Amino acid sequence: MTGPPPVETGNERIPLWMVAFGATVLLLGVVSLGVNLEGTNPDLVGAGPSGPPPSGPPPSGAPPSEGPADAVALIQGSQCQACHGVDLSGQGIFPSLHGIAAGPQSDNLQQLGADFPDTWPNLWIDGSVPEVAGLDRGGMPVFGGPGGTLTPDEIATIVEYLLTLE
């Protein structure tokens, strides 16, 4: 009777794909750790604050979970953070919403701001009004008007909050 064949042991090399895969996983872990050195995670979209939000203007760079409750709920419900960033300081091609009290920052809004210095943010967010017809909205959705998701009062609530962001 013969036994099983001997198990071959030797100096087989680890396949190159395994080395590359392991290095990639390690690199992703290091990058993930490095990106989150503050130890905080962004709010989940649609997740509300755990307690009542403090009133008054938020500190600069704070996510909109620290402003007036109505404005925060409207900002989160309208998905403003998806384009403008968690703290509304802008990301990619989408501009920061901080500092708009001084007037529009984007070139496509300069004339609108000059023509309507007190109401340009409301008109821009609404998007359905003749004052913004023909302007390059750069992907900005229409939130007002018949097909919009916000009423003029809700837009005014959001704008009032945005004007407090420095």
Q: For position 58, what pLDDT does the model report?
A: 45
> Is the alpha carbon torsion for 140, 79, 145, 154 positive or negative?
negative
Residue 50, pLDDT > 60, answer no
Mean pLDDT of the chain: 80
Cα gap 127→32, rounded to integer Å: 38
C-beta of residue 98 within 8 angstroms of C-beta of residue 166: yes
Residue 55, pLDDT > 50, answer no
Residues 6+ apart with CB under 8 A from 153: none
Q: For position 120, what pLDDT does the model report?
A: 95
Grouping H, G, I as helix, E, B as strand and the rest as coil, residue 146 is: coil
Residues 6+ apart with CB under 8 A from 77: 46
Domains of the chain, by residue range, sit at 69-162
Q: For position 37, what pLDDT does the model report?
A: 60
pTM for the complete prediction? 0.60
Q: For position 32, what pLDDT does the model report?
A: 75
Cα gap 71→19, rounded to integer Å: 50
The residue ranking higher by pLDDT, 53 or 35, is: 35
Q: For position 127, what pLDDT does the model report?
A: 93
Paired tokens of 141: 């959705």
Q: What is the pLDDT of residues 88-143, one digit of tens each?
A: 998 988 899 999 999 998 888 999 999 999 999 999 999 999 999 999 988 899 99
